Amino acid sequence: QVSLLESGGGLVQAGGSLRLSCAASGRTFSSSGMGWFRQAPGKEREFVASVNFSGGITNYADSVKGRYTISRDNAKNTVYLQMNSLKPEDTAVYYCAAALTRWATRATKYEYWGQGTQVTVSS
């Protein structure tokens, strides 16, 4: 069992920035690929970004590419999502997820999920 806890969500104006954090416990964090997903009101949950076990390989959804950056600090068992130039359409609950493999892409099966953190972007 892996426990994931997201934090850092909140209310920001369009054009602002937020940094989400996901703290992991219960498994060797350094061997797990990690991902971020989001679900907006009335929409399906969608892939946002992923990072492999070392932090050297990342993937992004087209909608956030160039604005979001995923990173990880294995010494702190934490993965981050830096979100810049936020838009109202970025409003969603953001979820952290962990895979059983060292790699992670949008097609990866993520085994463990956090409870989510709300991000609201006002116009």
- The phi-psi region of residue 50 (left if phi > 0; otherwise alpha if psi is between -120 and 50; otherwise beta) is beta
Average pLDDT over the chain reads: 95
Residue range 15-37: mean pLDDT, rounded: 91
Q: Note the pLDDT tens digit of each residue in 54-67.
A: 999 999 999 999 99
Q: Cα–Cα–Cα angle for 20, 26, 29, nearest 5°?
A: 60
Residue 1 — very low, low, confident or very high, per pLDDT cuts 50/70/90? Answer: confident
Confidence grade of residue 28 (pLDDT, cut at 50, 70, 90)? confident
Residue 29 has pLDDT above 90, yes or no: no
